[in-house]
């Protein structure tokens, strides 16, 4: 299974996603802000980042994802958002995001996206 880092400022989503993915056999860490995510990523070395698009610390999830990808080019990224738009999807494609998932979502859909993302053996391509 994979190391999954979740970055979402909403505790309910962090807990729900973390618990579900841990039951699926993934090693999971979750954080509520970009600074903590950067610290966790250094020691945890995630295979997959699940990041909320709009964070309370005024950063966009894509900014965080791009910064983390510079440290780990093979990092796969799933963006979750309550604010879907064509601009977001276009920016996600440019950032090589594996998938954009709209909130609220069914956990089965996110789990399927996680399974697809971690099963890749090559560098991720855009599938927003």
* pLDDT mean over 94-115: 94
Summarize pLDDT for 12-43 with one digit per residue, the tens: 999 999 999 999 999 999 999 999 999 999 99
CA distance 62 to 80: 10
* CA 21 vs CA 16, 42, 85, 86, 103: distances in Å: 9, 21, 27, 28, 17
CATH superfamily membership of 8-119: Response regulator (3.40.50.2300)
pTM for the full predicted model: 0.89
* pLDDT score at 124: 46
Summarize pLDDT for 51-77 with one digit per residue, the tens: 999 988 667 889 999 999 988 899 999
């Amino acid at each position: 299974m994979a190391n999954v880092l979740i970055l979402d400022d909403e505790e309910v989503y962090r807990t729900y996603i973390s618990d579900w993915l841990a039951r699926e056999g993934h090693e999971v860490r979750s954080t509520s802000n970009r600074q903590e995510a950067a610290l966790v990523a250094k020691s945890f070395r995630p295979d997959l980042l699940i990041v909320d698009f709009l964070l309370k610390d005024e950063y966009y999830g894509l900014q965080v994802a791009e910064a983390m990808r510079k440290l780990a080019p093979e990092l796969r990224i799933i963006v979750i958002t309550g604010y879907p738009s064509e601009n977001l999807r276009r920016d996600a494609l440019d950032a090589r995001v594996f998938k954009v998932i709209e909130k609220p979502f069914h956990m089965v859909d996110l789990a399927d996206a996680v399974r697809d993302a971690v099963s890749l053996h090559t560098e991720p391509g855009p599938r927003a």
